[in-house]
Structure 1
């Protein structure tokens, strides 16, 4: 009887036990396989499909700059109101992820897992192709949105000044700070991507939680930040050299390190270690079972 209760509670019926099993959270290996499969599908997409999706995502991410600027221009400038204005940062991420558009920092996890699972030159080439197309598409989209927001008579003067203040806040960081904060940002986005398959019904709130914390911490993100900082460039306050060397380059490197080399690598190592446990456990139990049978 004691042996039976180790596997199943005696007071539960078979139907109730099935309910328990069904409501168990998925193992890390399951999440890994879901994301790896998604990454494989992304790697198979054509250049044209990736490009248009990435361009749309870049333009959609302009919603984050727009929402923050509108909130900043309509609330007092006190630092305490940042807890409210930071919610604007979530707008672009919500729209892009729920619309299933191509966002570069998502691909630092999803597209990397297939390469880690099967590290071949062909897979590495597929990854570089995906990253290149998506990154360029995202940046073109954000630059286009920033240019339009500045030059078309859409917003009032107070809102235009709020957009400038957002870009100036980003550029208060030097290149090393851009890189360090980019690592945290890349890691947080990868965490969000990892969490969503296990709680699909809570996807909306997961996106808000992670991106809201990114905004509160002023962590740098290559796509959102490119809209914020390029607005300064188009306004004549910042040279393109600073955009690429101080902001874009270090932030991009940080996002890749945080999403791929830290989160993806550790998650993959965890699953590899977990998958090796059953075989070793079974091997260690075999001699004991033999003695018991005798």
Structure 2
């Protein structure tokens, strides 16, 4: 007897073919823009109190990047490939923050900026500055709290704390200008990560790991991740708090803003607006 081969259902009408093609195609830049725009409106509607507590949690969580990278560096053999493996620990804090929906300043160089670019009013600008100010202060307070706990308690053995100190010296070593340029790269990449994530699906974790791994291995200056390291160094008394802020936090902050706002938010918004019919452009 002849056995009938299993058949797969195929679209039989032009309408079904069009629907299947649409489902299989990548989302357009306009769809991604609309998804992030909607998220931006939601973030700007949150109260300052909600933003503060979420930002504080993010500042604390980002300390996991320093802890994981420092511990891995300590236990791995001293060889040329050690930084390639230890830098995987740098991604841990970002994973917790992004998947936990905590407020991280560098993510906000994209999300709330799109509503401002859509309607550039003084009211929207004040709201964006409110969000930025609350989240940044909360993130830095989280950095400070974690740095003081790490340095002034016996949570970690001296050899591991020495790794944290070494990381802080490395972050502070470049000049103001180099830190800012590296900050532009970091802000650009983190904002690109935020742009990609809404439609990354099951690959969200890998997108976060890969992009933040590159930020870490290239020593790009992320204002919050790096500030935890320089604050931990300042807590030892080897540098002053002013040196930590002026030598790293300020230039990294400027670079992150430029990279996120101009290279991602501005350019991606511009391409969407430029593709709209002239009669619909607002």
Find the aligned partners of 1:24 and 1:176 in 2 and give their Cα distance: 42
Find the aligned partners of 2:234 and 2:129 in 1 and give their Cα distance: 28
Q: Counterpart in 2 of 1:22?
A: 23
Find the aligned partners of 2:217 and 2:80 in 1 and give their Cα distance: 11
Alpha-carbon offset, residue 50 of structure 1: 0.3
Alpha-carbon offset, residue 22 of structure 1: 1.1
Find the aligned partners of 1:67 and 1:196 in 2 and give their Cα distance: 24
Deviations 1:253-277 (A, max 9, x none): 0000000022111001000011238
> TM-score under structure 1 normalisation?
0.89
Deviations 1:93-136 (A, max 9, x none): 00000000000000000010000011000000000000000000
* Structure 2: segments with no counterpart, 5+ residues: 1-9
Q: Counterpart in 2 of 1:245?
A: 246
Q: Counterpart in 2 of 1:190?
A: 191
Richer in helix (by share): 1
Partner-residue secondary structure (3-state), 2:148: helix
Which runs of structure 2 are paired with 1:216-235 in the superposition (5 Å)? 216-235=217-236
Q: Counterpart in 2 of 1:5?
A: none
Mark the structure with the bigger radius of gyration.
1
Find the aligned partners of 2:250 and 2:142 in 1 and give their Cα distance: 18
Find the aligned partners of 2:277 and 2:171 in 1 and give their Cα distance: 45
Partner-residue secondary structure (3-state), 1:21: helix
Deviations 1:149-193 (A, max 9, x none): 111111112111111111111111110011000000000001100
Q: Counterpart in 2 of 1:150?
A: 151
Find the aligned partners of 2:277 and 2:17 in 1 and give their Cα distance: 31
Q: Counterpart in 2 of 1:72?
A: 73
Find the aligned partners of 1:41 and 1:202 in 2 and give their Cα distance: 24
Q: Counterpart in 2 of 1:261?
A: 262
Q: Counterpart in 2 of 1:276?
A: 277
Deviations 1:45-64 (A, max 9, x none): 00100000000000011100
Which runs of structure 2 are paired with 1:52-71 in the superposition (5 Å)? 52-71=53-72
Q: Counterpart in 2 of 1:81?
A: 82
Partner-residue secondary structure (3-state), 1:153: coil
Which runs of structure 2 are paired with 1:40-189 in the superposition (5 Å)? 40-189=41-190
Partner-residue secondary structure (3-state), 1:79: coil
User: Which stretches of structure 1, 4 residues or more, deviate above 4 A after TM superposition?
Assistant: 277-280
Alpha-carbon offset, residue 16 of structure 1: 4.1
Q: Counterpart in 2 of 1:13?
A: 12
Find the aligned partners of 2:50 and 2:125 in 1 and give their Cα distance: 20
Deviations 1:9-51 (A, max 9, x none): xx95233442221121111011001001101110010010000
Q: How many residues align?
A: 270
Taking only aligned residues, the RMSD between alpha carbons, in angstroms, comes to: 1.6
Find the aligned partners of 1:273 and 1:162 in 2 and give their Cα distance: 49
